[in-house]
C-alpha cells in the first residue's frame, strides 16, 4: 500500500469517526485542529485504524504520536 493510499484511507476514517465529510488527513493535522478530537475519540480513532489496516498499536506507540504524519508513518512501518 502506498503512502497516498494510507492518507486516502485515513481521510475516510477521520470523516467517519468525527462525522465530518470536510476533513482531510494531512501530515500536519493534529488533535488541536479538530474540536471533537479528545483522548477518548483518539482511542476510537486508533481502534478504527487498527481494524481498517489489520494492524496493532501499543499504548506507547499511540502516546508518542504527535500528528497524522507520524500516524501514517507508523501504519506504513507495520504493513
Partner 1 sequence: MNEFGLAFHHFGLAVRSPDQAFGFLAALGYQQGETVFDPLQSVNLAMCYHADMPDVEVIWPSAEASPIDAMLKRRDSLIYHLCYTAADPADALLKMEKAGLAVLPAVEPRPAILFGGHEVSFYFVAGFGLIELIHCNPADATSLKT
Q: Give 4 or 63: the residue with its C-beta nearer to partner 1.
A: 63
CB-count exposure of residue 23 (10 Å: 0-12, 13-18, 19+): buried
Interacting residue with partner 1 among 2, 22, 40, 54 (CB under 8 A): 40
Site for partner 1 in 45-74 (CB under 8 A): 46-47, 50-51, 57-60, 62-63
Interacting residues of 35 by C-beta distance below 8 A, sequence separation 6+: none
Count Cα neighbours of 33 within 13 Å in the Cβ-side half-sphere. 14
Q: Give 5 or 30: the residue with its C-beta nearer to partner 1.
A: 30
| Cell digits of residue 55 | 494492524
Interacting residue with partner 1 among 5, 24, 44, 79 (CB under 8 A): 44
Distance CA 79, CA 37 (A): 25
Q: Name the residues that contact partner 1, by CB under 8 A.
A: 31, 35, 37-40, 43-44, 46-47, 50-51, 57-60, 62-63
Amino acid at each position: 500500500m502506498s503512502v497516498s493510499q494510507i492518507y486516502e484511507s485515513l481521510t475516510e476514517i477521520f470523516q467517519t469517526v468525527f462525522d465530518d465529510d470536510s476533513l482531510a488527513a494531512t501530515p500536519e493535522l493534529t488533535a488541536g485542529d479538530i474540536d471533537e478530537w479528545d483522548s477518548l475519540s483518539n482511542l476510537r480513532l486508533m481502534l478504527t485504524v487498527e481494524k481498517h489496516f489489520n494492524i496493532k498499536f501499543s499504548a506507547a506507540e499511540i502516546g508518542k504520536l504527535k500528528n497524522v504524519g507520524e500516524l501514517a508513518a507508523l501504519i506504513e512501518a507495520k504493513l
